[in-house]
Amino acid sequence: MKTAAPLAGLPASVEIVEVGPRDGLQNEPGIVDLDTRLGLIERLLAAGLRRIEVGAFVSPKRVPQMAGSGELVKRLGRREGVRFSALVPNLRGLEAAIEAGVEEIAVFGAASETFSRRNINCSIGESLERFRPVVERARAHGLPVRGYVSCVAGCPYEGEVPVARVVEVGAALFEMGCSEVSLGDTIGTGTPRRIAELVRACSAGIPIDRLGLHLHDTYGQALANYLAGLLCGVRIFDASVAGLGGCPYAPGASGNLATEDLLYMLEGMGIATGVDLDALVAAGRFVTGALGRPPASRVATARGVTPD
Ligand code: HMG
Ligand code: MG
């Protein structure tokens, strides 16, 4: 299926950030045990993924699915050429992440006031003030920090979100020291036009090679939206194996685009990712087998994959 070279104007390679172990498993109704979380991450590593968001140092009362992230990170240890990252909402989370040995953290803000309050219990302005010392201290420890902006194409509570608000929050995160900013279409309502508009607007303040996309597939638009982002120059793409995921504070939102489906498109366009599709399908099969349902990946389904 691989073409010899990418189409004119497209890059030879892009970066995939696998968020399944965090975004995916945080939204499961049941709590997935640590051995299964580790088993999934090992399989993702075997598939060639080098940036994996493995957990979250958030309140276990709010998101019990992510409890044990410290132990998980410790058990994973360090791997050559691999960056394990985790969500960190505050200084307390940062201390725990550093103690566990996380190699990258992500702070997570939003472009919608109501979502910010529901998700992290503070306003957008307060969240930025809360993140500032977290970013400073993380950088002082040599940890790169990713900044998320949620609700970039719409909010589950407020509906429309102005592009200017996304630009403002993204720029604030970048200016405070985030090494990259990932734009989250939390509820998957965006279409290629909106994504292109966002990327163009945000890239005025954030270099395009530091801008990522984190697109949920609730409305079936994510693959088209990633293509729009790719054509606009984005080179960092978040995806979730087997299409796992959602956000506990975005009711009804489905998972990120399945990593398998993103990879299939990129490979078909001659764009390298360093990830092996068969091994990735096997990783998705492992986790969905443990969850007792088939993968949401179209590629995995087309290949006749069923849960173990
Ligand atoms: P708060 O209630 O404002 O803070 O929570 P608090 O300081 O008053 O603490 C409340 C409780 O949490 C206390 O415990 C603290 O000790 C504890 P209690 O006294 O009730 O027993 N606590 C913590 N425990 C462990 N680790 C910590 C920590 N901090 C406080 N770091 C907070 C603020 C942000 C902590 C809370 O609201 C929270 O944990 N929210 C969860 C947010 C979350 O994980 N959401 C899902 C991920 S975001 C997402 O999915 C979107 C994304 O994928 C992008 C996209 O799709 O758009 C990234
Ligand atoms: Mg998400």
Any atom of ligand 1 within 6 Å of the Cβ of 131: no
CA neighbor of 106 nearest in space, from 118, 126, 90: 90
Ligand 1 pocket test: pick from 58, 118, 238 the residue with the most ligand atoms within 8 Å of its Cβ. Answer: 58
What is the rounded CA–CA span in Å between residue 302 and residue 191?
Answer: 25
Cα 256 to averaged position of ligand 2 atoms, centre (Å): 7
Residue closest via CA to ligand 1's atom 23 equals 59
Ligand 1 atom at minimal distance to the Cα of residue 94: 31
Partners of 107 in the beta sheet? Answer: 147
204 close to 166: Cβ distance less than 8 angstroms: no
Whether 44 shows a pLDDT value over 50: the answer reads yes
Mean pLDDT of 208-221: 97
For 26, 29, 85, 127, the CA distances from 62, given in Å and listed in that order, are: 10, 13, 20, 17
pTM score, whole prediction: 0.96
Tokens of 300: 């995995």
Long-range (24+ apart) CB contacts under 8 A made by 123-130 are: 124/169, 128/169, 128/172, 128/173, 128/176, 130/89, 130/90
Output the average pLDDT for the chain.
Answer: 95
Those residues whose C-beta lies under 8 Å from the C-beta of residue 129, and which sit 6 or more positions away, are none
What is the rounded CA–CA span in Å between residue 303 and residue 122?
Answer: 44
Cα 88 to averaged position of ligand 1 atoms, centre (Å): 9
In a domain, 126, yes or no: yes
In a domain, 208, yes or no: yes
Tens digits of residue pLDDT in 242-286: 999 877 788 878 899 999 999 999 999 999 999 999 999 999 999
How far, in whole angstroms, is CA 67 from its chain's centroid? 18
Pick 8 or 53 by higher pLDDT. 53
Any atom of ligand 1 within 6 Å of the Cβ of 213: no
For 12, 29, 119, the CA distances from 68, given in Å and listed in that order, are: 38, 17, 20
Q: At residue 86, what is the residue type?
A: A
CA neighbor of 226 nearest in space, from 196, 181, 260, 189: 196
Ligand lying nearest the CA atom of residue 240: 2
In a domain, 307, yes or no: no
% residues pLDDT > 70 (the chain): 97
- Give the total number of structural domains in the chain: 1
Whether 1 shows a pLDDT value over 90: the answer reads no
- pLDDT at residue number 4: 64
In a domain, 253, yes or no: yes
Whether 97 shows a pLDDT value over 60: the answer reads yes
Tokens of 239: 């995806």
* Structural domain that includes position 184: 15-302
**151 in catalytic set:** no
Ligand 1 pocket test: pick from 53, 59, 65, 213 the residue with the most ligand atoms within 8 Å of its Cβ. Answer: 59
In a domain, 9, yes or no: no
Q: Which residue carries 């945000």 as its tokens?
A: 202
Q: Residue 271 in 3-state DSSP?
A: coil
Residue closest via CA to ligand 1's atom 3 equals 121
Confidence of residue 118 (pLDDT cuts 50, 70, 90): very high
What is the rounded CA–CA span in Å between residue 11 and residue 216?
Answer: 23
How far, in whole angstroms, is CA 277 from its chain's centroid? 19
- pLDDT at residue number 204: 96
CA neighbor of 284 nearest in space, from 87, 41, 31: 41
What is the rounded CA–CA span in Å between residue 296 and residue 288?
Answer: 9
CATH code where residue 144 lies:
3.20.20.70
187 close to 155: Cβ distance less than 8 angstroms: yes
In a domain, 4, yes or no: no
- pLDDT at residue number 246: 74
In a domain, 115, yes or no: yes
Tokens of 32: 């997935």
Whether 3 shows a pLDDT value over 70: the answer reads no
In a domain, 1, yes or no: no
